């Protein structure tokens, strides 16, 4: 069996491009889910950012799939959303 470095490099580049495309779709899907949860809860982007001690631009980037999500970020987002809805209910009383 002969070894052709150029073919191997081409195959690796193709595989990396496919993985990157798939990752982008997954990040967008998670972001869409997060935005919908936040909007359904009646929490503004600014309020969500305050509860997470992050900038609204950062949250927006997450929700648009422009920043990577990890399991920890999903949990952190969910915690921020719970805090925002709890504090909103407290203020409404």
Contact (CB, 8 A) for 68 and 26: no
CA distance between the termini of the chain:
75
Q: What is the pLDDT of residue 91?
A: 67
| Residue linked to tokens 């407290």 | 90
Q: Which domains does the chain have, with CATH numbers?
A: 5-92 (1.10.260.40)
Per-residue pLDDT of 1-57, as tens digits, reads: 677 899 889 999 999 999 888 888 888 999 999 999 999 999 999 999 999 999 999
Distance (Å, whole) CA 55 – CA 6: 44
Model pTM score: 0.73
Q: What is the pLDDT of residue 29?
A: 92
Higher pLDDT, 31 or 90: 31
The mean pLDDT value for 64-78 works out to 90
């Amino acid at each position: 069996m002969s070894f052709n470095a150029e073919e191997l490099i081409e195959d690796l580049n193709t595989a990396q491009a496919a993985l990157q495309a798939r990752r982008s779709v997954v990040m967008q899907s998670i972001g869409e889910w997060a935005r919908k949860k936040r909007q359904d809860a009646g929490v503004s982007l600014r309020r969500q950012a305050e509860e997470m001690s992050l900038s609204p631009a950062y949250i927006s980037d997450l929700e648009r799939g422009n920043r990577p999500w990890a399991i920890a970020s999903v949990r952190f987002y969910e915690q921020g959303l719970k805090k925002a809805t709890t504090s909103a209910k407290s203020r409404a009383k």
